[in-house]
Amino acid sequence: MKLTLQGLKDSKAWEDIGISLPGYNIENVAANTKNSPVWVHFGAGNIFRIFIGGIADRLIEAGETDKGIICAETFDFDVIDKIYKPYDNLVLAVTLKSDGSTDKEVLASITEAVKADTDIIEDWNRLREIFVNPKLQMISFTITEKGYALSGPDGKFFPFIQADINNGPYKAKSAAAVVCALLNERYKSGKIPVAVVSMDNCSHNGEKLRSAVLTMAKEWLNKGYVESGFIDYISDENTVSFPWSMIDKITPRPAESVAKELEDAGVEDMEPVITSKNTYIAPFVNAEGPQYLVIEDKFPNGRPPLEKAGVYMTDRDTVNKVERMKVTTCLNPLHTALAVYGCVLGYTLIADEMRDKELRKLVEIIGIAEGMPVVTDPGILSPVDFVDEVLNVRVPNPFMPDTPQRIATDTSQKVGIRYGETIKAYVEKNGSAENLTGIPLAIAGWCRYLIGVDDEGNKFELSSDPMISELSRELTGIEVGRAESYKGQLKPILSNSNIFGIDLYKAGVGERIECMFKELIAGKGAVRRTLEKYTA
């Protein structure tokens, strides 16, 4: 059996192996979408395919819409060539359940996949055609937080962004430039309203996306590429809105075990591929079952009935509260603690860490004992129930192939939100965060991780992070097994409010983190002994 439109015609064969097929006419939905698109999405990756594509699929199945999503990719065009086109844009969605069973279904809601590149004339003209269509209601994104960054820490535009600024809309390459150029086409076609919705897992994502697009537009205005009216058009949220959102669904890289299970069942060509840009992707997507998407309900040209597929539609303040609850308290801080300690203790699966007495206790301290007293309660979701599901259902799922090494990526960009915000909340509430234990231990663990030596004294490779070189220089001279080699090297890191959002010494936890760190580097087995001490 092949995951193609032709292959789906033998529906009984698919049903016999427990894979559900779409109950709607796939060709009709594709034709309706092509002629009258309402939703285009940038970012062809896994969370889009299983989560966002799944939302559209449910709406189609329920008869709430007869149109799917058009997907546009700005970065890795191999994904379109190797994963979308050969499989007729179909997705085999595999939900990994904690009892070891899986739910499998084919999604056909992604009706078209194009390369968002001005040099690929046919695809670019198609995108222009989509953007000038008055029926288009929604442009969404999962391009990762990096996709909205236009400049580095020095404030200077990245070279590729500067090239986009210099070259103008008709030679756009980056995601921000591509979207800005296409919005300019919509503006010139009659200032047609539209919602531009970031669904990326980052704080204030709508604000970040709006800033990126406006910055590009203003730079183009300075160079004479666009009219001043275009700036007015995208600045007015009654014509172009940038709703905020919170998304949550753990979607790890495709597992070889799932590929083998599918192949053994008779589904052909399921092996994952690695693209030329190092994207690890497969015709199937495996993910956990729990999922949350909360969106600010600000759509000036109307929208699909997303709430009928489980999306929480609300106001901006509530979105911000849900995001803050998840990122600063109930999920992300726990993941980061497990990631850095998991790497140092030799774990290769996050779920296995939840069977580690000390690590489980650590994240319970961070999420419950220290998090709940200052948690932001959004009202539409219960923080207590959310963190309980994280600790007892989601993270311990042994069939989720998620690794500490993946989650440890870019930690320097995350610790300020994941820990700094709770520390600031304690300072605001009590004048100091000096009574915290779990969060300082997590930060000390991150610093210990940065040495790149595990608890047995063996070197390991650090996950990618834009600050690795700078942080490694700060830690020069520290040796595991020689506590006396620590001579205050952490001070520039812990006092850096650009990293943590606050000077940790002024917050009352800097010295405590230093003490914990010295215990963690005391020698072989010191990490385990330190965890035992503070989680007893």
Q: Is the pLDDT of residue 153 over 80?
A: no
**Tokens in use for 307?**
């709430």
What is residue 253's predicted lDDT score, i.e. its pLDDT? 87
Furthest-apart CA atoms within the chain: distance in Å: 71
pLDDT, tens digit (0-9, with 9 covering 90-100), for 506-518: 999 999 999 999 9
What is residue 155's predicted lDDT score, i.e. its pLDDT? 87
Least confident of 78-92, 256-270, 290-304, 396-410: 396-410
What is residue 27's predicted lDDT score, i.e. its pLDDT? 97
According to DSSP, residue 72 is labeled: E
pLDDT, tens digit (0-9, with 9 covering 90-100), for 282-323: 999 999 999 999 999 999 999 999 999 999 999 999 999 999
**What band does 465 get if pLDDT is binned at 50, 70 and 90?**
very high
Beta carbons of 530 and 519 less than 8 angstroms apart: yes
**What band does 398 get if pLDDT is binned at 50, 70 and 90?**
confident
Question: What is the percentage of the chain residues whose pLDDT exceeds 70?
Answer: 100
Residues 6+ apart with CB under 8 A from 162: none
> For 116-129, what is the mean pLDDT?
97
Pairing of strands 39-42, 102-107: unpaired
> For 260-287, what is the mean pLDDT?
95
Q: What is the DSSP string of 459-497?
A: B-PPPP-TTHHHHHHHTTT-BTTBGGG-SSTTHHHHT-H
Tell me the β-bridge partners of 195: 138, 241
Give the separation between CA 35 and CA 440, rounded to whole angstroms. 56
Which helix (H) or strand (E) segment holds residue 112: the answer is: strand 110-115
> For 520-530, what is the mean pLDDT?
97
In 3D, which of 502, 531, 516, 334 has the Cα closest to residue 433?
502
Give the Å distances, CA to CA, from 235 to 295, 480, 506: 20, 53, 39
Q: What is the DSSP string of 503-529?
A: -TTTTT-HHHHHHHHHHHTSSTTHHHH
**Coil, strand or helix at 137:** coil
- Residue, of 146 and 440, whose pLDDT is higher: 440
Beta carbons of 49 and 91 less than 8 angstroms apart: yes
According to DSSP, residue 151 is labeled: B
What is residue 100's predicted lDDT score, i.e. its pLDDT? 80
pLDDT, tens digit (0-9, with 9 covering 90-100), for 468-488: 999 999 999 999 999 899 999
Q: Is the pLDDT of residue 145 over 90?
A: no
The HSE-up count of residue 111 (CA atoms within 13 Å, CB side) is 26
Q: Is the pLDDT of residue 143 over 80?
A: yes
Tell me the β-bridge partners of 315: none
Q: CB under 8 Å, gap of 24 or more: what pairs does 4-13 form?
A: 4/86, 4/87, 4/88, 4/90, 5/88, 5/90, 8/90, 8/106, 13/266
Which helix (H) or strand (E) segment holds residue 248: the answer is: strand 245-248
Tell me the β-bridge partners of 42: 72, 141
What is residue 399's predicted lDDT score, i.e. its pLDDT? 83
Q: What is the dihedral of CA 65, 71, 72, 77, to 10 degrees?
A: -170
**Coil, strand or helix at 458:** coil
Q: Is the pLDDT of residue 401 over 90?
A: no
Q: Model's pTM, two decimal places? A: 0.88
- 115-149: b (≥16 Cβ within 10 Å) or e: bbbbeeeebbebbbebbbbeebbbbbbbbbbebbb
Q: What is the DSSP string of 172-214?
A: --SHHHHHHHHHHHHHHTT---EEEEE-SSSTTHHHHHHHHHH
Give the separation between CA 135 and CA 48, rounded to whole angstroms. 22
Tell me the residue type at 78.
D
Give the separation between CA 140 and CA 242, rounded to whole angstroms. 10
Give the separation between CA 466 and CA 484, rounded to whole angstroms. 29
Radius of gyration of the chain (CA): 24
pLDDT, tens digit (0-9, with 9 covering 90-100), for 161-188: 999 999 999 999 999 999 999 999 999 9
What is residue 154's predicted lDDT score, i.e. its pLDDT? 82
Give the separation between CA 448 and CA 479, rounded to whole angstroms. 10
**Tokens in use for 53?**
């594509």
What is residue 125's predicted lDDT score, i.e. its pLDDT? 98
What is residue 494's predicted lDDT score, i.e. its pLDDT? 97
What is residue 99's predicted lDDT score, i.e. its pLDDT? 84
What is residue 31's predicted lDDT score, i.e. its pLDDT? 98
pLDDT, tens digit (0-9, with 9 covering 90-100), for 3-15: 999 999 999 999 9
Give the Å distances, CA to CA, from 288 to 71, 340, 386, 406: 23, 22, 15, 16
Mean of the per-residue pLDDT values of the chain: 96
**What band does 369 get if pLDDT is binned at 50, 70 and 90?**
very high
Tell me the β-bridge partners of 106: 92
**Tokens in use for 133?**
């269509």
> For 87-112, what is the mean pLDDT?
95
Phi first, then psi, for residue 518 (nearest 5°) are -60, -35
Q: Is the pLDDT of residue 335 over 80?
A: yes
Give the separation between CA 342 and CA 352, rounded to whole angstroms. 9
